[in-house]
A and B are shown apart, each in its own frame.
Chain A
Amino acid sequence: MMNSARSCLLSLVSRKQLTRSRGVKHWIDGKPRRKHPVNPEIEDRLPVNKYISEGTRPDNRVYTWGYAELGALGNRNLLRPKNGKKPYTYLHRPMRLWFAELNKVTDVACGYGFTVMAVNRPDYKLFGCGLNTSSQIGQQEARAGHPLERVTSPVPITIPVDDPSIKVTAVACGRSHTSFVTSDGAAYTLGNNAYGQCGRQVLEREDYSSNATVHRVPVDRPVRTVTCGQDHTMFVTECGRVYCCGWGADGQLGSGAFDSRWQALPAGGDLEGERVVKVACSADCVLAVSESGDVFGWGNSEYAQFASVTEEQQLNVPRRLPLGVGKVTDVASAGTMCAVLNAYIVFADRGEVYVWGYGMLGKGPELDVSKEPSLIPPTLLGRNDFSPDNTPVSVVSGLYHLSVTTSGGDLFTWGHNRHGALGLGHTEDRLFPLRVSIPARVTKVACGVDHMAALCREYI
C-alpha cells in the first residue's frame, strides 16, 4: 500500500527525461507514456471556448516599421518604454499599430519622418504622428505658444471640413508638407510652403513651426487623388489632368520651364488629351500612367530614368515613354530608380514588374544601372510552382527602396535599408526582393525615406 501511494505521488511530479534531438542531448519535461487509454468523458466535461463567431469578419490592421526616433511609427512605447528599457532608435520588423485597432484607417502616407492617416470617423478625419517642425501634421501644441516638434502618437489634424459625411479619400506626404483629398473632390494642403508646394502664395518669413493653416487649393475640377514629390505637389483630377505646384528646378512641374510656382496649373506636353490614373514621385522624377496603360515621365533624369526619350538630365515637359512592356497598371519612382507593373492577363501570364535607373534595382549585385526596363523574375515576387496564382498588384517606392504587394497579400521589399525600413529584420541592404513577414494580407503600402506603413487585412 505504501508503494502504491508513493507511485501515485511520483506520477504526479513531472519527471525530466534526457532526450537527443539532432545529435544534441537535452532535458525535456518527460510525459510518461500512457499505459491506459484516456477517459473519453474528460473531453465532454471541458467547456467549449468560442474565440470568434461565424459572423465575425476579418479586421483591418496597420503595421509600421523603420526609423522610430522621430515618432513616425506612431507607437509611444517605442520611445518612452516602460520598465526602464532603452528607447528604440529603429524597428527593423513590422509592428502592429494600436491606433488602427481602435480606429478605421482607410489610407496612410509616409513623409520624411512623419506619417499621416485618413480615418473614417465623424469627428476627426485625419491623424498624424512624427516630425512636426513645419506643421506638416497640423498645429500641435501641448501648451499655448509651445509647439510640439515631435509627436509620438497619432494626433488629430484639424481640417476645415465640417460635414461629417465627407471623408478623406487620399493622403500624400512630401518632405515637409502634406496634402489630402476629400470625397467631395476638394484638395487641401498643410505644412511647409517655402517653394509654393502648398499651392498658396509664398509669404516671406512665414513661420511654419506652429502654423494652423490648412489651405484648400483652388483646382477648377474635382480632384480624385494627390501625390507629393519632395517639395512639390501634383493633383490628379477626375478627368485625368495633372495639376502641379511647388519646386520646379528639375522640371517636375511639367510646365516647360524650370521655375518654381505656387499656382496649381495643369501639366502639358504629351499629357494633352490623356486620362491620367496615377502619378508617382518620391523625389523629383515623376512618372504618370494613363487609363490606356501608357507611361509618361517628366522631371529629373540624372540617372537615365528617361533615357528612352532624352539625353538631357531634366525633362520639363511630360513625354510618353516607349517602354515596350505592354499595358501598364502601376508606376513607382524612387530617387534614382523607376519601376512599372504591367497588366495581368490570365492566359498571357503577365503581371510583371520592370525596373530601370540606377542603384539597387532588385536584380542582384551585377545589375546596378539600366537604361531600359528590366524584368524582375516572377519567382522573386512570390510566383512559383507552389503558389502559381500569386501576381503583383502594386508597386510603391520610397526614396531609396522599392516595394511590391501581390494578390496573395505578400509584401516584397528591396533596396537600401535605412534604419530597417525594409522590414526584413535587419539593417542590411537587399539587392533582390524579399518577403516581409506580416501575419496578415497586405492591401496598401506607403513608403517614406526611412520608414514604412502597411494597411492590412486579417486572414480570419
Chain B
Amino acid sequence: MERRSTSSTLHLMDGANDRRRRIVLPLQLVPTGYSVDSAGMSSTVAVAPRRAADIWRRLHGLVCVFKPAGCTVNHCMRVLRHRLAADLNAVEEARYAAVVDGRTAAAGDSASLEPPLVDSASLEPPLVDSASLEPPLAGLNPRLLTGPALQPVDVRVARLASLGRHMSGPLLLGVNSGARLAAALRDAGPQVRVHQVTARLGLATDTLLAAGRPTERAAYGHVTRGRLEAVLSGLQAAHQRLMFEHTGLPVNSQAAYELASRGPARPERGAPPVIYGLRCQQFAPPFVTIEVHSCNESSQYLLTLVADLGRQLRTAAVTVRSRCLRHGPFHLEHALLMKHWQLEHVQRNMRQCLVTAARGLTAPLSATLQPVQGPGGGPQEAAGSRAARHRE
C-alpha cells in the first residue's frame, strides 16, 4: 500500500518531573476529495464517486464515542467495527452502481469496466475474474459471488481507555493505526476524570449497584447536606494527601516541595487511584449526586467509594448512576452518540479529536491540577468559563 508520511513526532516535556515523553499523532488525516472549512465540516469538491480505497487508506486515528450505560466496551467496539465496515461497503456499492449505471446509460462496453474491488492491501483481490467466466456468469456482479469487500474483522478498533459497564461517558477508541496511540496516551500521563455519581442512601446490595440484590436497609433520616459535605471534605483531604506519595519524587527533595507548593500534584503512571475533589451537587434524599475528580480510578473503585461513603454517614449507599463527564481534555461534547457512529461522522470526530489531543496532550501536562465545572448543577460560571473548562 503506498504510504505518504502521515505522522510527525512531537516531544512532550513535563517540566516538573523533567521527563521526556513522545507522542506520535497522525497529522494528515484529511482524505483527498474533502475540504475542511473553519467549522471543521467537510464537503466534497469532486463530483466523481468516492472510492472506498481512499477512505480506507486514511481511516486511522483516535475517535471519542459516547458509551451508553449498560454496554460493555467490547460491545461498543464491535458495533463500531460493523458500522464502519458496512458504510465502507456501501460506499463501494454506490460507486459500482454509479459506474455500471453510467456505462449502461451510455450503452457501454464491458472492456471499460474497472475491476470492481478496491486495491487496498487489506482487501483481497477478486477470487473470481469476471473476464474469464462463461457468458452466463460474466454479466454477474462478482461481488455477489465473493461477498462484501470489507469484513468487520478487517477494521481494527482498539480501546485506549476503560469505562465500566454501568458507566456512561466519553470512551477513547483507536481505529486501525490509531491503536498505536495507546502507548503514547499512557506515557502522556494519567488523565483526570470527572464523574457525576448518583447514590441512593439507605440500601446496600451485593453488587454495590442499585440494580443488585438488596442485602441491607438502613435509616437515612439523619443525613443532612452539612453532614454529607463534612464527610466529603474529610475524604477529599485524606485522598489529596496521597498525591505526594504518588508523584514519583523523593518526598524530602526540593523538587517535591516545589511541586507540592504549586497545588494538587498529578500522580505518576500506574499509581493507585487518587481523588482530588468531592463535591455534593444535588441533595434530595434518598438520592444524592456527587461530583468526583479523580485520577487512575476504576469503575469498581467508584462503587466502593459510594459504599464507604454510606458507611461513614452511618447508613448504607448504592450507586444508581455513574456518568463520566470528561476524560482529560475530552468532554461529552466531543463524544459521538451511538446513532451517529457512521463513516462521515466518525471521520469528522477523528479530526476533532486530533485537534483536542493536539491542544490538550502535546503541551507539557501541568503538574498541578485544577477543578473544572461540570455541566449544570454547579455554581454559575463566569465569563471565560470555556477557558476554565479547558484547563487541566
Q: Which residues of A contact B (CB under 8 A)?
A: 21-22, 31, 37-38, 42-43, 46-54, 56, 363-366, 377, 379-380, 382, 384-387, 390, 408-410, 428-432, 434-435, 437, 439-441, 459-460
| Residues A459 and B231 in contact, CB atoms below 8 Å apart | yes
A419–B216 Cα gap in the complex (Å)?
A: 43
Task: Give bound CA distance, A382 to B243, whole Å.
Answer: 13
Whether B148 sits at the interface, judged by CB under 8 Å, is: no
Partner pick for A48 among B211, B217, B231, B234, CB 8 A cutoff = B217
CA distance in complex: A103, B261 (Å): 40
Given contacts A43-B203, A385-B371, A386-B371, contact A379 B262 (CB under 8 A): yes
In the complex, chain B residues 192-241 whose Cβ is within 8 Å of any chain A Cβ:
202-203, 206-207, 211-219, 221-223, 227, 230-231, 233-234, 236-238, 240-241
**Is A430 in contact with B252, judged by CB distance below 8 angstroms?**
yes
Name the residue of chain B whose CB is nearest to the CB of A431. Answer: B252
Contact A47 B217 (CB under 8 A): yes
Closest B residue, CB atoms, query A386: B277
- List, in ascending order, chain A residues with CB within 8 A of B218's CB: 48-51
Write the nearest CB–CB distance from A416 to chain B, whole angstroms: 12
In the complex, are the beta carbons of B230 and A441 less than 8 A apart? yes
Nearest-Cβ distance from residue B284 to partner chain A, whole angstroms = 18
B10 CB → nearest A CB, Å: 27
Listed by A's residue number, 8 A-B pairs whose Cβ atoms lie within 8 Å are A21-B298, A22-B270, A52-B314, A385-B263, A408-B233, A428-B252, A459-B230, A460-B231
Choose one: A22, A51, A460; the contact of B219 (CB below 8 Å). Answer: A51
Q: Scan B232-265; emit 1 where CB is below 8 A from any A CB, else 0.
A: 0110111011001000000111101110111110
Which of B223, B236, B270, B315 is in CB contact (< 8 Å) with A386? B236
Contact for A51 among B227, B236, B314, CB less than 8 A: B314
Question: Which B residues are CB-close (under 8 A) to A38?
Answer: 211-214
A37 to B203, CA, bound (A): 17
- Shortest distance from the beta carbon of B208 to any chain A beta carbon, whole Å: 11
Asked if B217 and A384 sit within 8 Å, CB to CB, the answer is: no
Main secondary structure of the interface of A (DSSP, over half): loop
Q: Decide yes or no: A386 and B238 within 8 Å by CB, A56-B222, A431-B252, A460-B314 being known contacts.
A: no
Q: Which of A47, A410, A432 is B257 in contact with, Cβ under 8 Å?
A: A432
**Does B293 reach chain A (CB closer than 8 Å)?**
yes
Which of A22, A384, A435 counts the most B-chain CB atoms under 10 A from its CB?
A384
CA A390 – CA B236 in complex, angstroms?
A: 12
Bound CA span A384–B231, Å: 18
> Which 9 A/B pairs are nearest by Cβ-Cβ distance?
A364-B257, A377-B261, A51-B314, A50-B219, A386-B277, A435-B241, A43-B214, A459-B230, A46-B217
Asked whether A365 and B222 contact (CB < 8 A) given A42-B213, A384-B263, the answer is no
Q: Given A364-B254, A408-B237, A42–B314 Cβ distance below 8 Å?
A: no
Give the chain A neighbours of B241 by CB distance below 8 A: 434-435, 437
- Residue from A43, A52, A410, A459 within 8 A of B222 (CB atoms): A52
Q: Which residues of A contact B312 (CB under 8 A)?
A: 439, 459-460
Known: A51-B315, A432-B261, A437-B241. A387 touches B236 (CB 8 A): yes
* Structural contact, B254 and A46, CB atoms closer than 8 A: no
**12 additional A-B residue pairs with CB within 8 Å, beyond A51-B314, A385-B264, A386-B293:** A38-B213, A49-B216, A51-B219, A377-B261, A386-B236, A386-B371, A387-B237, A408-B237, A429-B252, A432-B257, A441-B230, A459-B227
**Which residues on B sit within 8 Å (CB–CB) of A429?**
252
CA distance A47 to B202 in the complex (A): 11
A198 CB to closest chain B CB (Å) equals 41
Whether B313 pairs with A460 at a CB distance below 8 angstroms is yes
Known: A364-B257, A365-B254, A387-B233. A435 touches B238 (CB 8 A): yes
Asked whether any CB of chain A lies closer than 8 Å to the CB of B42, the reply is: no
Do the beta carbons of B214 and A49 come within 8 Å of each other? no
Does the CB pair B230–A460 fall under 8 Å? yes
Evaluate whether A379 and B230 lie within 8 angstroms (CB atoms) in the complex, with A46-B217, A386-B240, A435-B240 already known: no
User: Interface residue count for B (Cβ, 8 Å)?
Assistant: 52
- List of A residues within 8 angstroms of B257 by Cβ: 363-365, 431-432
A287 to B215, CA, bound (A): 58
Q: Taking the complex as formed, is B330 at the interface, i.e. its CB lies under 8 A from any CB of chain A? A: no
Q: Is B96 an interface residue (CB 8 A)?
A: no
Residue ID in chain A nearest B278 by CB atoms: A386
Are A437 and B214 closer than 8 Å at their CB atoms? no
Residues of B with C-beta under 8 A to A54: 221-222
Complex CA gap A435/B219 in Å reads: 33
Closest Cβ–Cβ distance, residue B255 to chain A (whole Å): 9
Q: Do the beta carbons of B293 and A460 come within 8 Å of each other?
A: no
Cα–Cα, bound, A431→B219 (Å)? 45
Contacts of B252 in A (CB 8 A): 365, 428-431
Beta-carbon contact of A379 and B261 below 8 Å: yes
Inter-chain contacts of B316 with A (CB < 8 A)? 49
CB distance from B188 to the nearest CB of A (A): 18
Once bound together, how far apart are the Cα atoms of A409 and B256, in whole Å?
24
Contacts of A441 in B (CB 8 A): 230, 234
User: Nearest Cβ distance between residue A315 and chain B, in whole angstroms?
Assistant: 32
B370 is an interface residue with CB less than 8 A from chain A: yes
CB neighbours (8 Å) of B261 from chain A are: 377, 379-380, 432
List the B residue with the shortest CB-CB distance to A379.
B263
Q: Which of A50, A53, A437 contacts B238 (CB 8 A)?
A: A437
CA distance A127 to B368 in the complex (A): 46
Q: Is B276 located at the chain interface by the 8 A CB criterion?
A: yes
CA distance A432 to B247 in the complex (A): 15
Query: How distant is B232 from chain A, measured CB to nearest CB, in Å?
Result: 9
- What residue in chain B is nearest A21 (Cβ atoms)? B298
User: Which partner residue on chain B sits nearest A432 by CB separation?
Assistant: B257
CA distance in complex: A53, B262 (Å):
43
* Contact, CB under 8 Å: A435 / B217: no
Contact A385 B370, CB 8 Å, known A377-B261, A380-B261: yes
- A376 nearest CB across to chain B (Å): 8
Whose C-beta in chain A lies nearest to the C-beta of B253?
A365
Contacts of B256 in A (CB 8 A): 364, 432
Q: Bound complex: CA of A435 vs CA of B370, how far in Å?
A: 20
The chain A residue sitting closest to B311, CB to CB, is: A51
Shortest distance between the CB of B368 and any CB in chain A (Å) = 8
Chain B, residues 298-310, CB within 8 Å of chain A (1/0): the string is 1000000000000
**Chain A residues, Cβ within 8 Å of B270:** 22
Tell me which residues across on chain A come within 8 A of B244, comparing CB atoms: 434
Q: How far is the CA of A22 from the CA of B371 in the complex (A)?
A: 26
Distance A37 CA – B210 CA, assembled complex (angstroms): 12
Question: CB < 8 Å: which of B215, B234, B236 contacts A439?
Answer: B234
The answer to whether A459 and B234 have CB atoms under 8 Å apart is: yes
Identify which of residues 29-44 in chain B touch chain A, using a CB-to-CB cut-off of 8 Å. Answer: none
For residue B258, which residues in chain A have a CB less than 8 angstroms away from its CB? 364
